[in-house]
Amino acid sequence: MHNDQLARIVEALSQEPEEDYTLQQVVTEAVKNIPGCTMCSVFLRQGSSVEIAASTDPTAKRVDELQFEMDQGPCLSVLSEQEIALVRDTQNEPRWPLWAGSASELGLRSSLSVRLDYSAPRLASLNMYSDSVDGFDQDAIDRALVYARLASVSLGLAREITGLRSALQNRLVIGAAQGILMERYGLSLNRAFEVLRRRSNETNTKLYEVAQTVLDGGDVLAAS
């Protein structure tokens, strides 16, 4: 990739630092920039749970779902075993024959999956699909590896920012709930926080959820 192309990709992936938006941009930009790629998706894995986090096409989504249903496929393999998985021809693929045969019937003829260096404890795979046999040559593979690094950095940053925004929002909710308790019951700031914390422990509920109950009109003192 040339420097100007790399710069454009970085700009596209950084337009809005929200995790969900960035995930969708990752698959959209892959179709634009990886030769042979006609459809794309991203798998996210946390623990034993795997989800389709973004997709460019209903067919790509169905091809992904087949991997879950059959418990085999290149994308799942990348999440558990390999860094990269290339399928040159779905009509002649011995490693995942059930998935490959069904994918071929949907018009998918080759694929390239690359692991993304996502933030722990999550793993992710970038799944690129082609409607042509041997759709990904060495140049496409090299570009995909470079692109995966850029995507990983953008996703890591977006995830961090999303987490910070969520934490800030939770703090605002807790602070607002403290203010309501102070006014309603004549409590000090510290005492209002202790009321929220005690209710959180008693009900095994997250602190910000207890605070949201107060904002919604609930009476945590009466409930306790």
DSSP bridge pairs for 157: none
Instruction: Tell me how far apart the alpha carbons of residues 58 and 220 are, in angstroms, rounded to a whole number.
Output: 46
Q: What does the pLDDT average to over 80-97? A: 94
6 vs 70, higher pLDDT: 70
Return the pLDDT at 48.
81
**Per-residue pLDDT tens digits for 115-167:** 987 666 678 999 999 999 999 999 999 999 999 988 888 887 766 766 676 77
In the structure encoding, which two tokens stand for residue 58, read together?
A: 């209903």
* 111 and 74 Cβ atoms separated by less than 8 Å: yes
Please give the sequence-ordered ranges of beta strands (E in DSSP) within 11-140, or none if there are none.
Answer: 39-46, 49-55, 84-87, 110-116, 122-130
DSSP 8-state code for residue 71 = T
pLDDT at 121: 67
Q: Which domains are delineated in the chain?
A: 3-163 (3.30.450.80), 166-223 (1.10.10.10)
Q: What is the pLDDT of residues 156-169, one digit of tens each?
A: 776 676 667 677 77
Q: Over 80: is that where the pLDDT of 174 sits? A: yes
Helix axes 138-185, 19-33, angle to 10 degrees: 170
Q: What is the pLDDT of residue 9?
A: 58
More confident site: 217 or 106: 106
Q: Are 128 and 37 in contact (CB under 8 A)?
A: yes
What integer pLDDT is reported at residue 77 of this predicted model?
93
39-86 pLDDT tens trace: 999 999 888 889 999 999 999 999 999 999 999 999 999 998 889 999
pLDDT of residue 167: 77
Give CA separation, 148 vs 1, 113, 127, 142, 215, in Å.
13, 10, 10, 10, 43
Minimum mean pLDDT among 5-19, 23-37, 167-181: which range? 5-19
Q: Is the pLDDT higher at 127 or at 177?
A: 127
The amino acid sitting at 34 is I
> Does residue 157 contact residue 117 with C-beta atoms inside 8 Å?
no
Report the chain's mean pLDDT, rounded to a whole number.
86
For residues 190-206, give the mean pLDDT.
87
| Beta bridge pairs of residue 122 | 46
Give the pLDDT of residue 99.
Answer: 97
Both tokens assigned to 1? 């990739």
